[in-house]
Amino acid sequence: MDVTLSSWLVIVISIALANLPFFTESLFGVIPLKGGRKTAWTRVFELVVLYFAAGAVAYAFEARIGNVFTQVKEFYMITVPLFVVLAFPGFVWRYLRKQHPRVD
């Protein structure tokens, strides 16, 4: 796998993981919750865990390519807001779109 393909793959995986908390009502998309609905804090917790999962995937790709660079605080100061911005479509879908009443 070349550098370009792995870079695009990390971006696609990050977009999918950033939006996952907002598109499902189960924890991490697999664990059903007792109440059936997630709170906003549960979604934030999920977003934090999935941020580190996306980082682990990116680290694995970087290690496979060759040289792994040391990450300092500036790296995290950029990637955390970027991950939150990638979650914007899911946030809009969950909280900002107009809910039409169900007709049964």
User: SS in 3 state form for 47-71?
Assistant: HHHHHHHHHHHHHHHHHHHCCCCCC
DSSP string, 26-45: SBTTTB--SSSS--HHHHHH
pTM greater than 0.75: yes
Q: Which helix (H) or strand (E) holds 15?
A: helix 3-23
Q: Which helix (H) or strand (E) holds 86?
A: helix 73-86
- Exposed e or buried b per residue across 55-65, where buried means at least 16 C-beta atoms within 10 angstroms of its C-beta: bebbeebbeee
Give residue-wise pLDDT tens across range 55-77: 999 999 888 888 888 888 998 89
Distances (CA, A) of 98 to 68, 79, 93, 94, 95: 45, 30, 9, 10, 8
Q: With bands split at pLDDT 50, 70 and 90, how would you rate the model's confidence at 104?
A: low
What residue spans define the domains of the chain? 3-96
